[in-house]
Every structure is written in structure tokens, then in C-alpha cells.
């Protein structure tokens, strides 16, 4: 079939918002397990059968275990692999009910201490265990079976023995910049490396000017506006209430991207923002940008006549243009009449025009309201100078009083300018990414998936070279250290554009520090009821973030006969192409790769798509591009009340011995758990009853946190199939 064409849209600001024989007693048939590291996971036919049977007349359940000796730290369901068969001899039927959510339950009790009770997906310490198996079908049918967890000391992983570390160079051909069709807006965006130089253009209308902008200092009007914009876009961290665009991305990129630029003179569009020509314009932002650039070339030729300095990647386009405009219109969310026009919002798009390396013109642009830089979120920010507390940055007088500059919105939108999508849902009925991310609810750092797309981060990857090991991850925010894993028999395709589990150790430092106290936009909301926003910011303490990423991309392949394409097949690809390509003898053609998954189901045609076994595109779909995996195993971000969980510490994996109180009543005062198993997290993988990835492959890895500090976390991994 033919591929549906990639659609490009304006991307806006985040909305403020278990089989056989035996009796009731069970038998153990197993081999002795070695006590040394990986060798403990060597399977044998003798270690394969723990069987029990419980009956009620003609109806009974029969339980068997594939393994009845497993290593410490692994989980019962994933590693013992129970099979529960439901028999009705009168009807002559049997049914495998091993994986029935809710109807089949496993209560695991330590034989030596019956007060220690576990769930089927919990990481287990060494000991002998009894499992009460129950299945409900009108009545509840029960069975008992036992197994042993052997004390096994994992090895300490090292390069080539547990994992492989990839370099940035190895991923450079898979970034947004190298694969423009995967860029949210189709390529030629703001370069993510080196020293890109942007134009910041203040724009007025004849009836909406900056003349009346007032501040606490000597600067007023247009002069104050330009000073505020210089602070918001280009100041150093210490000179801002939080960060500027420049200082944020210098930190977030780990020094790879140093955004510079110029705030231009104020450009006044020669119409009122209420004129029909403006109100009804379908591409007002693009028109104004094109005119403003030409105005700069002619009216300010000495400074802006030659804009080649603003094209650092030499693609013939200005690296980026960020417009900040004055308007009398309200935002769409509070608009009346023609104010409902999305023009008066914040968004990124592309301006028209061709590439010209000698005379670069406008392409990637950001259109932003002035009042989103001066929204009252920061008021009393000070720093100590010579023993005296003085205000940080400029103050602007608004209806709410004297306010400081907030760059969160322009930083989020600049994420789009560099190719990243939004991770919140446009349907506004779920928040699967978990809110804490710059491309979700405008807070904190970018996640590792995004940074791989930008070319700023490369992972440690579990490669199957060891089966029982520990590995330590340092702070993601400070070092860029992170880890991914998937089925070792179907390894990672060495691009961001695959499906995997991603781990990063969050710390409330760097670009997370300010927001870890709660982002004021969200804290201004009610603290109870349907308007509650949890912690309302990034997490206040360190912890392990876990994400399920499905960044798979697809392309069309065709046979070429007599120069014409035929037999089009649309399928996922592990080798995404930047442009259409032919094979050597020009008998095969492949299209550029395109993004399939988003975090929106259906809104405005921008929903996530999948490909079925017949090669047909399926939409809507449960597949999401990036979703948070919660220690509870409950996908509490999958409903419209997701914002109640925003920034709560229970979203993170961690040890209560490090921080937190498991008896705490507040979700913000404890970790959600410390271990991961496929069974425990099955609700986050809905396509295959939760025990497989979206692509149908099996995830063999369990992990548990075994040590934790403010700077790093040590994780114990076990291959449950080895």
C-alpha cells in the first residue's frame, strides 16, 4: 500500500494544564543452583517442573512452573514462568488462565516467615516460598505450589560484560538534523550543535505597541522590552530568575549547543491587530516574519544586511527566528469572538521561501506573546551582592504587580524549533509521558529520547553479554548518563527510532533545580479537587525515571519496473533514510522514514498510528511515543485526572532507606517502589496483554535498585530467560 504523506502542523505551547499433575502437596524436581553470578542462571531440563493440582469435582486448576529455582532479585512470574490451566472435565475443556489480569492471583509467602508476603512481580530475596494460586470464574478455585530463590551474587558490569556504551558520533546520522523528515516541522530547524545564531524580533501593531511597558528601573517602553528579551534569550544563569534560553540549552546539551543571537529593533506591522486583514490572515506569523526580515535588511542594512552569520549550518536559512509580539487579543483559552483564533497563541511553524546560502532567509520560526514572558510566576527573586540582597533581572509592571522574566515558554517552543514534538496529548484526556519534561508540561530538562534526537546524548545499552549484574548510573541531568534495554535476541537498532525501556537518574540540580520547588504556574492552581496539580513541578528529590519509548519509524518500499514504482509496502524500518533511495540496480525504491507514533490518540488528525500484520496503517492506536512507567504498575497518567500525579515522588523508583517513608500518606513523600518486572508493569504494555513490547518481542529483563545516593543509583539486572 502507499504511505500516507507526513503531515506538518503548528506545534503549540503545553496546555495549562499461569500446566500439570500432583496433589495438594507439591513436589520439587530441580538441580542444584550455582552460587556464582551469571552461572546461576544456566537453565537445565531438571530445573523445569514444579507441579501442583487442586480440584473441586469436575472443575479444577492445575499449576506448573517452568523453573522452581531462581536467583535472588528476580520475580516469580517472569522467572519461574507459571502456567495455570483451568479444567472442566464435564465439558471436556481446558483454558490457560496464567495471565488473566484480576481473575488469576498469586500470593507468595516466605515459608520461614509467613509475615513476608509478596506479589507475583516483586523482586524476591533468597528463601523458600509457597504460592497460593487462585482463579475466579463464578467461584474461586485455589492451588498451591512452591519454589526456591537462591542467594546469588551478581557481577559488577563493565564495558562488554553487561552493556555497551555508544558514542555521540555513532548516533549522529540518526538525529533530527540528519533525518529531516523525522523533525516535527520537516527539517532545516535550529541547529542543535555549535553556535547557532538566532534573530529575536519584537513586533508591534499600530494599536498594540510596547510604548506603555513599564518597569522598576530607568528603562521603559521599547528599551525595556529589548532589555527583557536580551535577558530571556541570552543572559547567563546568575542574571536570571531561572535560566535564559541560552543558559538552559548550554546546560541541557552538556555544552554541545551554545545559542547566541541578537534582539533586533522593534518592527511595527502597518496594521492594527483588529483589522480584518490581520484577523482573517491564514498565515499572519509567516507574513510578518518575512516582512520583518526584509525590513531589517533594508532599514538596518549596516547590521542586518548580510545575515550569513545567522546560518551556522549553511543550509541557506536563518538558524531561527523568534518573534515576540504585542497584542490586544486574549489567548484562545480565554478568548471571546475572534480571539478564538489560534493566531494569538504561542507556536512554532515554518516561514516560506527557498534556500540561499548567500542570502539566507526565514524558515523555522517561533511566534510568542509578550505577556508569556512576563506572567507573574517570579516576583521576589534576589541574589546576594556585597552582602546585600538585590533583585535578579528586570522587573515589568503588570496587572498582578511587578514581575520578573520567565523563559519556560520560549525554551519549550525552541524545543520544537530543533525538531522535538510535544509529549502531552492534544486530546487532553491523558498525560502518558508523566508531565515532568520540557516538551510535556514545560518544566525541567529534556529526556534522553529527545536528547538522542538532538545529538546530545548516547546510551549504555544492555547487550546480553552478562545475565546477572549490577550497573551504576550517574545523574542524568548533570552527566547525560542513561541506559536502555530491550529483548537481547532482537537487539536495539542503534538509533533513537526503536522500541525500548529507558532509564535515567533524575536529580534536582541544574535546569531541574528551580522547578523542583514546584513551578509557580501549576502551584497557583487549587491544591484539591479536579484542579489539583500534584507537586506541580519537577521532582523535589532524586530518583530513577523509567520510560517506555516506542520511537519506531516507517517507510515505503517499492519494486521498480521500467522506471515505475509498483508493489508499495509500508513497514517499520530499522534503517531510516533521510531521502528517497534506490538500490544499486534501481530495482528497489525506499521512501524517507516517517514518524508513526505520538502521545496523542486522535486529535485533529495528529494521532498516533501503527501498522498491522497486513501492512495496513491502524489509527487510532494505543501505541504512544514515550510513556512513563510507574513503580506502582498502575498507569495513573492514562486518564483526564493525570495532573493530580504531576511531579509526585511516587512516580520515581527508589529506596526508602535512602529517602522517604513507605508509611507516608502523601504521594510526594515516598518512592513508588524499587523493582521492575514485566508482570508488575504489564498495564503499560497493552497490545500483547502486557508481557511483550508493542512490536511483539519479549522483554527478558527484571531489575531492582540496590543502592542509591544523591549523585547516582546502582541497579541489579537479571535476564529472566537465561
Residue 223, C-beta contacts closer than 8 angstroms, at least 6 positions apart: none
Mean pLDDT score across all residues of the chain: 88
What is the structure's pLDDT at 532? Answer: 73
| Helix and strand numbers, DSSP H then E, in the chain | 11, 39
What is the structure's pLDDT at 53? Answer: 58
Model confidence pLDDT, tens digit, residues 179-218: 999 999 999 999 999 999 999 999 999 999 999 999 988 9
Contact at 8 Å (CB) between 572 and 552?
A: yes
Angle separating helix axes 245-252 and 221-234, nearest 10 degrees = 0
Contact at 8 Å (CB) between 430 and 628?
A: no
Model confidence pLDDT, tens digit, residues 615-624: 889 898 999 9
Distance in angstroms (rounded) separating the CA atoms of residues 272 and 328: 9
Distance in angstroms (rounded) separating the CA atoms of residues 311 and 399: 39
- Across the range 571-576, mean pLDDT stands at 96
Q: Quick check: 292 pLDDT over 80?
A: yes
H-run or E-run covering 297? helix 284-299
Bridge partner residues of 262 (DSSP): 199
Model confidence pLDDT, tens digit, residues 421-456: 999 999 888 999 999 999 999 999 999 999 999 999
Q: Quick check: 10 pLDDT over 50?
A: no
- Across the range 106-124, mean pLDDT stands at 97
Model confidence pLDDT, tens digit, residues 60-88: 999 999 999 999 999 999 999 999 999 99
Q: Quick check: 35 pLDDT over 70?
A: no
Distance in angstroms (rounded) separating the CA atoms of residues 459 and 463: 12
How many CA atoms are closer than 13 Å to the CA of 1, on its beta-carbon side? 14
Q: Of 515, 523, 245, whose CA–CA distance to 405 is shortest?
A: 245
What is the structure's pLDDT at 528? Answer: 56
Q: Of 564, 722, 607, whose CA–CA distance to 33 is shortest?
A: 722
What is the structure's pLDDT at 31? Answer: 30
Distance in angstroms (rounded) separating the CA atoms of residues 350 and 357: 18
H-run or E-run covering 223? helix 221-234
Lowest-confidence region among 120-124, 417-421, 691-695: 691-695
Distance in angstroms (rounded) separating the CA atoms of residues 104 and 307: 67
| pLDDT confidence tier of residue 337, bands split at 50, 70 and 90 | very low
- Across the range 488-515, mean pLDDT stands at 95
Q: DSSP E strands: which ranges in 541-633?
A: 543-550, 553-561, 564-573, 581-582, 588-590, 594-595, 610-611, 617-618, 626-628
Model confidence pLDDT, tens digit, residues 354-413: 899 999 999 999 999 999 898 877 877 888 878 888 888 999 998 878 889 999 999 999
Distance in angstroms (rounded) separating the CA atoms of residues 366 and 345: 11
Distance in angstroms (rounded) separating the CA atoms of residues 716 and 367: 47
What is the structure's pLDDT at 529? Answer: 52
Q: In Å, what is the CA distance from 395 to each residue of 208, 216, 375? A: 20, 6, 11
Cell reading at 522: 501549576
Q: Of 427, 424, 404, whose CA–CA distance to 415 is shortest?
A: 424
Distance in angstroms (rounded) separating the CA atoms of residues 499 and 550: 4
Fold of 37-153: Immunoglobulin-like (2.60.40)
Model confidence pLDDT, tens digit, residues 276-291: 888 877 799 999 999 9
What is the structure's pLDDT at 63? Answer: 96
| pLDDT confidence tier of residue 524, bands split at 50, 70 and 90 | low
What is the structure's pLDDT at 55? Answer: 55
Cell reading at 11: 506545534
Percent of the chain with pLDDT over 70: 89
Lowest-confidence region among 155-169, 183-197, 339-353, 674-688: 339-353
- Across the range 127-137, mean pLDDT stands at 95
| pLDDT confidence tier of residue 340, bands split at 50, 70 and 90 | low
Radius of gyration for the chain, computed over Cα atoms and rounded to the nearest angstrom: 28
Q: Quick check: 8 pLDDT over 70?
A: no
Lowest-confidence region among 199-208, 484-493, 597-606: 597-606
Residues in the chain: 722
Distance in angstroms (rounded) separating the CA atoms of residues 188 and 256: 18
Q: What are phi and psi of 78, to 5 degrees?
A: -70, -35
Distance in angstroms (rounded) separating the CA atoms of residues 158 and 162: 6
Distance in angstroms (rounded) separating the CA atoms of residues 285 and 136: 61
What is the structure's pLDDT at 17? Answer: 31
- Spans of all domains in the chain: 37-153, 160-169+423-550+624-719, 189-417, 552-618
> What's the gap between Cα 656 and its chain centre?
25
Q: Quick check: 509 pLDDT over 70?
A: yes
Amino acid at each position: 500500500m502507499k504511505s500516507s504523506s507526513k503531515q506538518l502542523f503548528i506545534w503549540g505551547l503545553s496546555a495549562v494544564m499461569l500446566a500439570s499433575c500432583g496433589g495438594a502437596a507439591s513436589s520439587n524436581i530441580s538441580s542444584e543452583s550455582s552460587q556464582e553470578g551469571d552461572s546461576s542462571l544456566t537453565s537445565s531440563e531438571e530445573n523445569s517442573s514444579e507441579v501442583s493440582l487442586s480440584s473441586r469435582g469436575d472443575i479444577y486448576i492445575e499449576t506448573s512452573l517452568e523453573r522452581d529455582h531462581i536467583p535472588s532479585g528476580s520475580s516469580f512470574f517472569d522467572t519461574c514462568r507459571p502456567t495455570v490451566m483451568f479444567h472442566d472435565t464435564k465439558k471436556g475443556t481446558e483454558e490457560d488462565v496464567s495471565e488473566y489480569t484480576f481473575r488469576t492471583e498469586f500470593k507468595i509467602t516466605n515459608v520461614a516467615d509467613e509475615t513476608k508476603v509478596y506479589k507475583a512481580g516483586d523482586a524476591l530475596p533468597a528463601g523458600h516460598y509457597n504460592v497460593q494460586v487462585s482463579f475466579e470464574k463464578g467461584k474461586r478455585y485455589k492451588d498451591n505450589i512452591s519454589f526456591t530463590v537462591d542467594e546469588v551474587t551478581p557481577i559488577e558490569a563493565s564495558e562488554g560484560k553487561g552493556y555497551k556504551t555508544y558514542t555521540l558520533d555513532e548516533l549522529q546520522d540518526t538525529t533530527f538534523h540528519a533525518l529531516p523528515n523525522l523533525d516535527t516541522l520537516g527539517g532545516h530547524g535550529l541547529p542543535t550543535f555549535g553556535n547557532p545564531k538566532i534573530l529575536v524580533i519584537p513586533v508591534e501593531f499600530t494599536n498594540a505597541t510596547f510604548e506603555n511597558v513599564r518597569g522598576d528601573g530607568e528603562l521603559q517602553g521599547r528599551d525595556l522590552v529589548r532589555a527583557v528579551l536580551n535577558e530571556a534569550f541570552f543572559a547567563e544563569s546568575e542574571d536570571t530568575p531561572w535560566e535564559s534560553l541560552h543558559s538552559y540549552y548550554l546546560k541541557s546539551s552538556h555544552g554541545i549547543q551554545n545559542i547566541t543571537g541578537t534582539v533586533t529593533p522593534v518592527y511595527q506591522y502597518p496594521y492594527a491587530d483588529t483589522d480584518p486583514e490581520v484577523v482573517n490572515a491564514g498565515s499572519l506569523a509567516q507574513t510578518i516574519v518575512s516582512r520583518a526580515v526584509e525590513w531589517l535588511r533594508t532599514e538596518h542594512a549596516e547590521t542586518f544586511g548580510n545575515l550569513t552569520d545567522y546560518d551556522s549550518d549553511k543550509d541557506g536559512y536563518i538558524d531561527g527566528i523568534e518573534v515576540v509580539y504585542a497584542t490586544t487579543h486574549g489567548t484562545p483559552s480565554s478568548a471571546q469572538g475572534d480571539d478564538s483564533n489560534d493566531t494569538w497563541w504561542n507556536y512554532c511553524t515554518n516561514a516560506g521561501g527557498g534556500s540561499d546560502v548567500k542570502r539566507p532567509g526565514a524558515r523555522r520560526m517561533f511566534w510568542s506573546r509578550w505577556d508569556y514572558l512576563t506572567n507573574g510566576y517570579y516576583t521576589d527573586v534576589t541574589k546576594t551582592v556585597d552582602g546585600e540582597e538585590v533583585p535578579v533581572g528586570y522587573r515589568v509592571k503588570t496587572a498582578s504587580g511587578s514581575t520578573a522574566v520567565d523563559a519556560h515558554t520560549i525554551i519549550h517552543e525552541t524545543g520544537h524549533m530543533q525538531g522535538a514534538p510535544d509529549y502531552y496529548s492534544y486530546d487532553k484526556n491523558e498525560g502518558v509521558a508523566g508531565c515532568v519534561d520540557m516538551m510535556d508540561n514545560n518544566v525541567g530538562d529534556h529526556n534522553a529520547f529527545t536528547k538522542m534526537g538532538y545529538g546530545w546524548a548516547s546510551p549504555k545499552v544492555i547487550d546480553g553479554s552478562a545475565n546477572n549484574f549490577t550497573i551504576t548510573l550517574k545523574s542524568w541531568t548533570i552527566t547525560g548518563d542513561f541506559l536502555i534495554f530491550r529483548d537481547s535476541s532482537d537487539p536495539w537498532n542503534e538509533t533513537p527510532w526503536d522500541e525500548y525501556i529507558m532509564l535515567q537518574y533524575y536529580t534536582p540540580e541544574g535546569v531541574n533545580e528551580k522547578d523542583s520547588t514546584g513551578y509557580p504556574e501549576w502551584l497557583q492552581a487549587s491544591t484539591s479537587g479536579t484542579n489539583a496539580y500534584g507537586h506541580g513541578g519537577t521532582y523535589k528529590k532524586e530518583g530513577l525515571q523509567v520510560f517506555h519509548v516506542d520511537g519506531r519509524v516507517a517507510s515505503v518500499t517499492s519494486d521498480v519496473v521500467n522506471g515505475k514504482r509498483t508493489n508499495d509496502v509500508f513497514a517499520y524500518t530499522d534503517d531510516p533514510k533521510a531521502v528517497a533511495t534506490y538500490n544499486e540496480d534501481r530495482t528497489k525504491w525506499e521512501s524517507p522514514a516517517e514518524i508513526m507514533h505520538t502521545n496523542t490518540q486522535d486529535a485533529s488528525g495528529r494521532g498516533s498510528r501503527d501498522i498491522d500484520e497486513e501492512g495496513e496503517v491502524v489509527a487510532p492506536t494505543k501505541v504512544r511515543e514515550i510513556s512513563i512507567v510507574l513503580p506502582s504498575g498502575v498507569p495513573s497518567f492514562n486518564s483526564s485526572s493525570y495532573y493530580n500525579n504531576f511531579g509526585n515522588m511516587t512516580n520515581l523508583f527508589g529506596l526508602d532507606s535512602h529517602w522517604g517513608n513507605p508509611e507516608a500518606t502523601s504521594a510526594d513523600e515516598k518512592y513508588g517502589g524499587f523493582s521492575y518486572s514485566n508482570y508488575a508493569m504489564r498495564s503499560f504494555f497493552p497490545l500483547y496483554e502486557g508481557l511483550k513490547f508493542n512490536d511483539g518481542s519479549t522483554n527478558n529483563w527484571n531489575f531492582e535498585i540496590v543502592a542509591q545516593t544523591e549523585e547516582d543509583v546502582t541497579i541489579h539486572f537479571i535476564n529472566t530467560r537465561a
